[in-house]
Each structure stands twice: as C-alpha cells, then as structure tokens.
Amino acid sequence: MFQTPTQTRSSLKLVAIVGALALSAGSVHAQGSFEYNLHVVEPFYDSSTSESIFVRVLDNGTAWGTSTVLTQLPSGNFSVTNQSVTWSSNGTGETAEHLNALNNRGDRVMESPHLQWATVEYAEGGSDQIDVFVGDVALRAWDISESRMVVGASIRQGSISQGVLRDAFFWTEGTGIVNLKSTGLVPDAGQVWSVNDFGEMVGIAGNGRFDNNQAFYFDFDASQHIDLHSQLVPVGQVGVRSDAYDINNNGIVVGSRDSGFGGDIRAFAWSQGDGVALLPSPMTQAWAINDAGVIVGGNWRYSDEDGLVDLNTLADVGDFQIVDARDISNTGIIVGWGRRSGSALATAFMLTPTQSTCAADINEDQSLNFLDVSAFLTAFSNDDPVADFTDDGSFNFLDVSAFLAEYGAGCP
C-alpha cells in the first residue's frame, strides 16, 4: 500500500520513538505531592477594621464574596457596610454591587437595592426579574445553575416569637418563581442553598418548633422530595439541627448535623444510592462538594482517596491560618477565609492547584508510566508542542532522547 508523505513522516517518527523507548525499562512514579498556591486577598476597603470573605468560586478561577467595613459611630456603636466583590486568580478584582450569584457560563443574579426583587442578567445580553411572593418584604437568591435555575428564599417578617419567616423558591424562565412550601412540593421548606445542573436542589425546612432546621433534597424533574433530616437524627431526639448546603452534578449532598445541647456537630455526605455517611471528626462543616467528590469545610479537605487533610499543610501559608473553606470548583480551586497571625479580622483566600513540574508527566496524574509514553507518542505524531522537548520547533529524535531522559529521572 502506498503512503502519503504525511503518513510516511508519521510512520518514521513512530518507528524512531518506539525503537528508542524499547531501550528504556520499567516505569517511574512521580514523587511530588498534590499541593496548592495560596493567594491571600486583602479587603478592598482601606480600613483597619475591614474584612473579606469568599463564598463561591467558578471553574475559571473567578471568586465571589464580600468585603466589609466596620465604622464606629459617635454613639460608640458600629455601622457595618457590606460590598459584593469578585476576584480572579490572575490577581484582578473589582467591587460588584448587589451581586447575589453567578455561574460558569457568565450569568449573574443581582439583588435590588432594597431586596424587593432580583434580576437575572444573561451572559449574552438581556435579563429577567424575579419578584418576592405577595406580602413578603425581601428576596435572596443564593445560587444559579448552568441551566439557569435560580434558588433562594422569599422573606417576610414574623412575630417576635417566630422570628424571620422564609419560603424556599426556585425560578426558571419557563416556570417563573415557584414556592416549594405553599405548593406542597416540600412542606415547610424555608431556604434553598444550592441547585445542580439537573434541577436537584438542597436546603432547609422547619419542624414546627425550630425555624428552618431540617435538611431536605428535592428533584425538580422527578418532583421528588426526600427528608434528609430523618436520616441524620435518631427518632424522637430533640434539639437537633441539620442543614444541606451543596449538591454536585452526581447528586451527592453535603452539609452539617448538630445534635444540640452539647452533642456533637458532624459534617455529612448523602446520596440516594449510599444514604448518609458522617465525615471523619474533627470535620464539623461541609460547605461544598465538586463533581469529583472532593468536599471542603472549615480548614479541611476530604475525599475518599486522600481522607481528611488539613488545608494549612498543603500550601506555604506563612503567618496566615486557613479557618473556613467555603467552596471548591471542578478545577480544584478552593476559596474561603482565614486570619493573619495576631489578627481577629477575616481575610479571603484562594488556593489554586499547582501544575505538575515534571515534563515527562504528560497526562499530569502525578505518576510516570506507559500512559505518559502513549500520550507522548500521540503528541509526537501530531506535532503537538507538548512533545517538543527541545523547544526548537521541530519534532525529531532529539525530542525522543529528551523525553527519555526526563522519564528516566522521575519527578522531583
């Protein structure tokens, strides 16, 4: 069979590299560990009483949170000013007045100045308005999915004994705002904290004696409500609170259970297939979970593969102490807040995964084996720059030799 010039060139390259690799024996495991770079983000306001907190992060490294200033009044009391802010891992930040939520596609949910409505601003232009339920005084939207479902709570003022009363809602362009409580979808639903891209949402409901303290799960497409609280708390036990804070696209829910009255506080994970699993102590709070199943809360990161890991041991934190990790992206970026040594003020942080420094670890899985050889073969055949180990713009035996040298040396 005749070959085209391109086929002949590719074949010769493959013969060269396969022959060279035959001289290399065994596989070498990378010795480096998975670590992060720490970015401490000072408050946007220039004040000795300013604080900053990140609560969400997108896959592209954009974080969202608040920057706060405490101003002492002549009376001796303090005035609190909160300003929404965004910050990117490239070091740029800006104030984002009235920002409530944002998603990876660039859609934003903005609150009105007096919280009487929220506006969904679409990335490609245009917007929609979400109004409070009739008789309510405020609306807070806490999350927006990639499918543009918005969730949160519509709020009204109750009596002194009742406190603030909330009705959980979800909103889509097609359904408008839907009250989970009054429609009977989730009895006593008070707040939805998170929604995934498939319309599965989680939050808190009430039990008639405590205001909004029972974790629940609701699937919009299946119209299925599951009371998680009953799976977290022994029958008849009182003074117990539970909260479901986040759900990933695999339907895994994370949150916290507080047994009250001096009992233990535990973070938990739940799925329909596996039920409830209490996370190892001393992790008491699970704020977020990404699609890979990595959970963060407090100063901890948890995964089935690595178990419980103190975030302060995974980066050069210096005089900074990570206190509370609030979110983790699907790209592994972690955000939250911590404190400088000797300071009581909260300061936002971002942890970004370090890139592999081992050139031969082509697939960046922290291990050198035949998968990297295969990846190099493919890149070499396709003139992919990742295979140009000599950085001379050409692909020849010198690149093969350089790859073999890196492969044989292992990773630092």
Three-class secondary structure assignment of 182-242: CCCCCCCEEEEEEECCCCEEEEEECCCCCCCCEEEEEECCCCEEEECHHHHCCCCCCCCEE
Quickly list DSSP for 255-276. EEEE--TT--EEEEEEETTTEE
Structure tokens at 363: 């697939």
Looking at the fold, whether 118 and 10 belong to one and the same domain comes out as: no
pLDDT for res 367: 67
User: SS3 of 82, please?
Assistant: strand
* pLDDT tens, residue by residue, 218-252: 999 999 999 999 898 876 666 688 999 999 999 99
* Residue 277, strand partner residues: 269
Confidence class for position 10, pLDDT limits 50, 70, 90:
very low
- Overall number of domains in the chain: 2
Give, in order, the Cα–Cα distances in Å from 192 to each of 149, 176, 261: 12, 16, 26
pLDDT band at 25 (very low <50, low <70, confident <90, very high): very low
DSSP state of 387: G
> Do 209 and 182 meet the contact criterion of CB atoms below 8 Å apart?
no
120-170 tens-digit pLDDT: 999 999 999 999 998 888 999 999 999 999 999 998 865 444 556 789 999
- In this prediction, residues 104-116 reach a mean pLDDT of 91
Instruction: Examine the domain organization and report whether 9 and 49 are in the same domain.
Output: no
* CB neighbours of residue 376 within 10 Å: 25
Q: Which two tokens stand for residue 349?
A: 């942080």
pLDDT in tens, 279-302: 999 999 999 999 999 999 999 999
CB atoms inside a 10 Å sphere around CB 39: 19
* Residue range of the domain that includes 166: 40-353
Residue predicted with more confidence, 75 or 173: 173
Q: What is the pLDDT of residues 311-368, one digit of tens each?
A: 999 999 999 999 999 999 999 999 999 999 989 889 999 999 986 556 777 776 666 7
| Claim to verify: residue 14 and residue 121 sit in the same structural domain | no
Q: What is the DSSP string of 342-366?
A: T--S-EEEEEEEPPP--TT-TT-SS
Considering the domain architecture, whether residues 196 and 304 belong to the same structural domain is answered as yes
Do residue 298 and residue 343 come from a single domain? yes
Can you give the CATH number for the domain in which 292 is found? Answer: 2.130.10
How confident is the model at residue 162, as a pLDDT?
52
Same domain, 213 and 344: yes
Task: Evaluate whether 321 touches 312 at the Cβ level (below 8 Å).
Answer: yes
pLDDT of amino acid 12: 41
Strand partners, 225: 218
**Co-location of 257 and 378 in the same domain:** no
Residues 13 and 50 in one domain: no
Regarding whether 249 and 269 lie in a shared domain, the answer is: yes
Distance CA 173, CA 113 (A): 23
Q: What is the pLDDT of residue 85?
A: 87
CA pair distance 170, 179, nearest whole angstrom: 7
Contact 56, 64 (CB under 8 A): yes
What's the pTM value of the predicted model, to 2 decimals? 0.76
| Contact indicator for 180, 188 with CB cutoff of 8 Å | no
Same-domain status, 372 and 248 = no
d(CA 228, CA 201): 12
Confidence bin at 262 (pLDDT 50/70/90): low
- Summary mean pLDDT of the chain: 83
Residues 254-275, mean pLDDT to the nearest whole number: 87
Q: Return the structure tokens found at 369.
A: 């084996």
Contact in structure between 158 and 164 (CB atoms under 8 Å): yes
Last residue of a domain, one of 320, 353, 386: 353
Same structural domain, 53 and 77 = yes
